[in-house]
A = this chain, B = another copy of it.
Amino acid sequence: MGAAGRRNLPTSEELAAWRAHVETFDVVRARIESRLQQDSKLSSGDYKVLLALSEADGRTVRSSDLAAHIEWERSRLSGHLGRMEKRGLVRREPCEDDARGSHVLLTDEGARAFHASTIPHLQAIKEVFIDAFTPQQLTDLNEAAVAIRRHLDLDAP
């Protein structure tokens, strides 16, 4: 490869940084999810759905709105809700004003499970992730996320 071809490739340090980042934060995520699972029998997907539902007016959301809110494919949400419904965490009811749609609603059991999970989950985030850093490092990390989002043009109008 000539000099021209190398310019758009990472150096070995850069590549190592990428791999370290991915592998390290995979472990972080796994630890936090595993704590959630052990404390509350909830997956991170369950938690995301329950969080959105518990914040919703009347603990009810139209399925599509829910999918949009948590940025999931509708088919993904559909499958996930099916599993959560089997476990009694949510219920689905037909929608009066639009016969195609359906309302997803939080059951009492779902609300209970969610409320019991939040404090331990937030503790896990603090202990596993936040507590690893100095305030400066946390700021730096945030800057990095901002830089990526700008670079990839996320947050675009």
Grouping DSSP codes into helix (H, G, I), strand (E, B) and loop, the A interface class, with mixed when no group exceeds half, is helix
By size class, the interface of chain A is: 35 or more
Question: What are the residues of chain B within 8 A of A150 when measuring CB–CB?
Answer: 132
A137 interface hit (Cβ, 8 Å):
yes
**Smallest beta-carbon distance A139→chain B, Å:** 9
Contact B148 A132 (CB under 8 A): yes
A72 interface hit (Cβ, 8 Å):
no
The A112-153 residues at the B interface (CB cut-off 8 A) are 119, 122-123, 125-134, 137-138, 140-152
A154 interface hit (Cβ, 8 Å):
yes
A68 interface hit (Cβ, 8 Å):
no
Question: What are the residues of chain B within 8 A of A137 when measuring CB–CB?
Answer: 140, 143-144, 147
**Smallest beta-carbon distance A112→chain B, Å:** 18
Contact A14 B126 (CB under 8 A): yes
Interface string of A9-34 (1 = CB under 8 A from B): 11000110110111011011101000
Contact B10 A141 (CB under 8 A): no
Contact B21 A141 (CB under 8 A): yes
Which 8 A-B pairs give the minimum distances between C-beta atoms? A132-B151, A140-B140, A24-B145, A10-B126, A20-B145, A132-B148, A14-B130, A132-B147
